[in-house]
Structure 1
Amino acid sequence: MPKKKKIGSYPNTMIVISLTAALFLIGFCGLLVIQSKKLVSIIRQNVEVRVFVDKSVTKAGQDSILSIIQAKPFVLSSAEAQPITYVSKEDAAKEFIQGTKEDFVNFLGENPLRDSYRVKVREEYFEEVKLAQIKKELEQITGVYEVVYQENLADNINKNVTKIYIVLASFAVIMLIIIVLLVNNTIKLAIYSQRFLIRSMQLVGATNGFIQKPYVMRGAIQGLVGGILAAALLVVLQQVAVRNVEGLALLQEYEKIGILIGIVVILGISIGIASTYQSLARYLRMALDDLY
Structure 2
Amino acid sequence: MARTKKKVGMYPSGMILFSLTLALFLIGFCGLLAIQSKKLVTYIRENYEIRAFLDKDLSEKKTETLYKTIAERPYVLVANGKPQVNLVTKDEAAKEFIAETKEDFSKFLGENPLHDSYRIKLNEGYFEEAKLQEVKQDLEQIDGVFEVVYQENLVDNINRNITKIYAIMSAFAVILLIIIVVLMNNTIRLALHSQRMLIRSMQLVGATNAFITRPFLGRGIWQGFLAGIIAVGLLIAGLQLAIHNLPELSTFQDPEKIIFLMVGIVGLGVLIGFVSTFQAVHRYLGLTLDELY
TM-score higher than 0.5: yes
* Structure 1 runs not aligned, ≥5 long: none
Runs of at least 4 residues of structure 1 off by over 6 A?
none
Query: How much is the aligned-residue C-alpha RMSD, in angstroms?
Result: 1.6
Per-residue CA distance 1:234-275 (angstroms, 9 max, x = gap): 111111111112521211112211111111100000000000
Alpha-carbon distance, 1:284 to partner: 1.2
Match in the other structure for 2:22? 21
Residue 140 (structure 2) aligns with: 139
State the one-letter code of the partner of 1:61: K
In 2, the alpha carbon distance for the partners of 1:203 and 1:33 equals 51
2-structure distance, mates of 1:274, 1:234: 24
Shift of the 78–245 alpha-carbon distance from structure 1 to 2, 3 Å rule, reads closer
Distance apart, 1:78 and its partner CA: 2.9
| TM-score normalised by structure 2 residue count | 0.95
Give the Cα separation in 1 of the matches to 2:90 and 2:183.
Answer: 64
1:171-192 CA distance string (max 9 Å, x none):
1111101111111100011122
Letter in 1 for 2:187: T
Residue deviations 1:39-76, cap 9 Å, x none?
11101011111000000322222122111111111000
Matching residue of 2:230: 229
Q: CA deviation at 1:287?
A: 1.6
1:133-155 CA deviation, whole Å, 9 max, x = no partner?
A: 10011000011100011111110
Instruction: Check conservation: 2:21, 2:231, Cα contact below 8 A.
Output: yes
| 2:37 corresponding residue in structure 1 | 36
SS of corresponding position for 1:145: strand
CA distance in 1, matches of 2:192, 2:81: 54
The question of whether the paired residues in 1 share the 8 Å contact of 2:224 and 2:269 is answered with yes
Q: Counterparts of 1:1-292 in structure 2 under 5 Å?
A: 6-8=5-7, 9-79=10-80, 83-292=84-293
Aligned residue-pair number: 291
Match of 2:271, SS? helix
TM-score, structure 1 as length reference: 0.96
Gap regions ≥5 residues in structure 2: none
Comparing 241-250 and 117-126, the one that deviates more: 241-250
8 Å contact from structure 2 (residues 76, 83) kept in 1: no
Query: Equivalents in 2 of 1:79, 1:155: separation in Å?
Result: 28
Relative to 1, partners in 2 of residues 1:137 and 1:183: Cα closer, same or farther, differing over 3 Å? same
Q: Which amino acid aligns with 1:219?
A: G
Give the secondary-structure state (helix, strand or coil) at the position aligned to 2:50: strand
Counterpart of 1:142, as a letter, is D
Please say which of residues 14-23 and 59-68 is displaced more in the overlay.
Answer: 59-68
Q: Which amino acid aligns with 2:217?
A: V
Helix, strand or coil at the partner of 1:193: helix
Report the alpha carbon displacement of residue 4 of structure 1 after superposing the two structures with TM: 6.1
* Identical-pair percentage: 56
